[in-house]
Structure 1
Amino acid sequence: MRKSLIAVAAAGLTLSLAACSGGTTPGATSSPSGDVSSPAASAPAGSGTVTIWVDETRVETFNTIGEGFTAATGVTLDVVQKPTGDIKTDFIAQAPTGEGPDLIVGAHDWVGDLQANGVIAPVELGDKVSGFNELAIQGFTYDGQLFGVPYAIENIALVRNNGMVSDTPATFDELIAQGKAVEGAQFPIVIQQGDAGDAYHLYPIQTSFGAPVFKTDASGAYTAELGMGGPEGLAFANYLKKLADEKVVSVSLGGDQAKQAFIDQKTPYMITGPWNIADFEAAGIDVSVLAVPSAGGQPSAPFLGVQGVYLSSQSENALVANQFLDYMASKEAQDKLYELGGRTPALTESADAVDDPILAGFAEAGKEGQPMPALPEMGAVWTFWGSAQVSIITGAAAPEAAWTEMIANIESKF
């Protein structure tokens, strides 16, 4: 939680990609030491087709990327659109049968499930890893191995309506007091929840109490030991009840409702991500993006989401698939992905060239962040986490009792 979102820039990046996961990926050859040699280095240029699955929000982006890839290599990128909710599950089901794609585009927190099912192959960046944002690399790292080439980073932050307030206090309590004093404001700030809760959007507040979801080891990697128990977690639970009393959070304020409240200028602040900025600006609102002020005395650390491309362990086109992964690591591709998608590039050379105050604000807010955990244990965490927070927000349970029960329920599933 202490690493900068923008790592030291490194030019002239060239990938050395490996495909090894228990067995050898088709097309790769083993060295005498047992390491898998880089398929990208030996792949024939100017021939072949590689299939990639993408969701509906990125199909046009990757069609355009495919055109650049084909122009550079002569290899065809077959872009197949899949519904967002189906890509991971269909890939896990189809890859072992040989019916899946060579590559998929997805979030880094899929890596635990994909690796556990044996459907992805690791990627070896070697000493070129410094060319990427450290946290992007960390996000795609599991059990000491890197799975996938990251291309974009995003996180939530505090978005301010500059027409309602022109400066932001240093603490969250002061921010609430300021928001309550704004004429015409119905809410001092909104943080989306809904009837199932939303721990993701509350996480910067929770971490400011020193209560991360999981503890980390000396390398910064997550362990399976919960970090949100103890007095720090209980302190956050009590503060969450205060947020409900101050009308900052409510089960009636889901994502759409919170967004509309900000657009209707019923609140000067919202904790949200870059995906809502275009709609705010279309509504004529001048916004600034800031780090979330601390509520508990420690830095507010949002989750970081990293997007990237995974390689199927069952690909029959590993050589040309690795050519595409090599292309994805180029400044040309990462610049184009930023231009088309509006997310901070994972390649630091590209990120350093971005001149956008909105993205700069999100980057600053993410400096203390950590990638969303990719541990399989997260499946047990989300449901109990959200339910406990809802019970606190609605007053159905006392904060400390609800939090203590949540911890016990989660640990019983490990």
Structure 2
Amino acid sequence: MRRSIALIAAAGLSLALTACGGSEEKKGDEGKGSGSEAPAGGASLVIWTDANREAAFKKAADKYTEATGNTVQIVVKDNDQARSEFTAQAATGEGPDILFGANDWLGEFVSNGLVAPVELGDKASEFNPLAVSAFTYQGATYGVPYAVENLAIIRNTDLVDSTPATFDEMIAKGKAAGVQYPFIMQLSENGDPYTMYPFEASFTGPIFELDANKSYTNKLNLGGDQGKAFAQWLYNKGPKGENILQPTITYDIAVDAFKTGKSPYIVGGPWMLPDFKDMHIAVDPIPSAGPGKSTPLLGVQGGYISAHSKNAVLATDFLVNYVGSEEIQTALYEIGQRLPALKASADKAASDPLMAGFAKAGAEALPMPSLPEMAAVWSFWGRTEGQIVAGADPASTWDKMISDIETEMKKK
């Protein structure tokens, strides 16, 4: 369950800030396995994954062993543990051959020379291009994606019949429903920039400027007049304005309020659906708060190959041809209820109207930034949003945040 991406990012902040930025990228033959012939019999791979997905990866491992004679040892670790331990062990040549995790770990891993490029070959066209892009850094692809996730509006269809195209229209419709909250989202006193980002994107666009290939550069894109306009919007919607955004609303409060019919709309992801399984709900795109489109961030899960793996060709074969198969991607979807990265599996999943709704809401999403510089953004970003919603001066508080982030980025 992704309660707040900011909390996850904060846990890895110290790791990223101490990353060896001068490390060389490893772009040799390691990982170029989709077009290579993997040796069969007698070898062993070690993979790290979380407990929820162990069963699906075991199915892939069994098929791989049956076909090749090579064995796969699955080690279960939670995500924060896996990330920190991989960072420590891979640097010394230890750790797994394959680590499954989030795309936003990528910048740290590449900067420290911990992961090897993966050649997807013709298989690349079978994946959601945004998912492949999420595992691409400085022109090289470093992972095989298996799932994508993004925010959307989850709507109580017993209370409202649609989600309007703009935030203010949605609030008006929510008020007409006659319940306690016209709209609800988690915020808390420390802010929640991941959940707030779709609304911010309708003012500022991407977190970092994009290059001609629509890849992130390391130039921050949250400042200027558009950033201040978003800051003013935060203030106006807070307790000193319309009181739509409330710093006292935590994840649990927001979910409970929606679940008990106290709000017709909530910003959420597929991880919330089990809480709402007994309700009549729909999933819609997020309305725009500013002059542009509200676009959520796209989180992507996939498999990395250690740069120090002695079995990189085998690892690539396992990831591309087994984890990347329709059967395994569908099995992973059935376990986690996240849209598969493989198009064929995603098309089947989208027969569920709720999954189709998340796909539509994330159609123009940008991947979660994997740049090492992103570590300098999270804590300042959330704290500043929380302060402005609570009543701090929008323009000066936002300008200070930009200055603080840029100062921190220069240290990298």
TM-score calculated relative to the size of structure 1 = 0.88
Q: Distance in 2 between matches of 1:37 and 1:155?
A: 30
Letter in 1 for 2:218: A
Q: Distance in 2 between matches of 1:155 and 1:95?
A: 30
Q: Contact 2:26–2:117 (CA<8 Å) still a contact in 1?
A: no
Q: Contact 1:66–1:76 (CA<8 Å) still a contact in 2?
A: yes
Q: Distance in 2 between matches of 1:39 and 1:351?
A: 22
Q: Contact 1:148–1:308 (CA<8 Å) still a contact in 2?
A: yes
Letter in 2 for 1:119: L
Aligned counterpart in structure 1 of residue 381 of structure 2, from 373, 382, 385: 385
1:164 to partner: Cα distance: 1.1
1:313-341 per-position Cα deviation (integer Å, ceiling 9, x unaligned):
11122232222112222222222222222
Partner SS for 2:72: strand
Q: Contact 1:40–1:322 (CA<8 Å) still a contact in 2?
A: no
Instruction: Report the counterpart of residue 79 of structure 1 in structure 2.
Output: 74
Instruction: Report the counterpart of residue 283 of structure 2 in structure 1.
Output: 289
How many equivalent residue pairs?
A: 382
- Per mean C-alpha deviation after superposition, the further-off stretch among 155-164 and 169-178 is 169-178
1:374 corresponds to 2:378: no
Letter in 1 for 2:215: A
Q: 1:40 to 1:321 in 2, by over 3 A?
A: farther
Partner SS for 2:148: strand
Which structure 2 residues correspond to residues 3-402 of structure 1 after superposition, within 5 A? 21-22=25-26, 24=28, 38=33, 41-183=36-178, 185-245=179-239, 246-281=242-277, 284-326=278-320, 327-354=322-349, 355-395=351-391, 397-402=392-397
Partner SS for 1:62: helix
Partner SS for 1:178: helix
Q: Distance in 1 between matches of 2:67 and 2:357?
A: 34
Partner SS for 1:224: strand
Instruction: Report the counterpart of residue 3 of structure 1 in structure 2.
Output: none
- Per mean C-alpha deviation after superposition, the further-off stretch among 252-261 and 136-145 is 252-261
Q: Distance in 2 between matches of 1:322 and 1:170?
A: 43
Gaps of 5+ in 1: 1-19, 29-35
Q: 1:23 to 1:169 in 2, by over 3 A?
A: closer
CA RMSD of aligned residues (A): 1.9
1:57-106 per-position Cα deviation (integer Å, ceiling 9, x unaligned):
32333233323333343332211111221111110101132330000000
Q: 1:334 to 1:124 in 2, by over 3 A?
A: same
Partner SS for 1:377: helix
Q: 1:249 to 1:66 in 2, by over 3 A?
A: farther
Q: Contact 1:208–1:295 (CA<8 Å) still a contact in 2?
A: yes
1:40 to partner: Cα distance: 6.4
1:269 to partner: Cα distance: 0.5
1:127 to partner: Cα distance: 4.4
> Identity, % of aligned pairs?
46
Q: Distance in 1 between matches of 2:25 and 2:148?
A: 26
1:107 to partner: Cα distance: 0.5
Q: Distance in 1 between matches of 2:112 and 2:382?
A: 27
1:125-160 per-position Cα deviation (integer Å, ceiling 9, x unaligned):
234422211111110011111001011111000000
1:195-224 per-position Cα deviation (integer Å, ceiling 9, x unaligned):
221000011101111343111011000011
TM-score calculated relative to the size of structure 2 = 0.88
Q: Distance in 1 between matches of 2:216 and 2:102?
A: 17
Q: Contact 1:50–1:321 (CA<8 Å) still a contact in 2?
A: yes
1:139-187 per-position Cα deviation (integer Å, ceiling 9, x unaligned):
001111100101111100000011111122221101111112222x211
1:21 to partner: Cα distance: 4.7
Q: Contact 2:186–2:249 (CA<8 Å) still a contact in 1?
A: yes
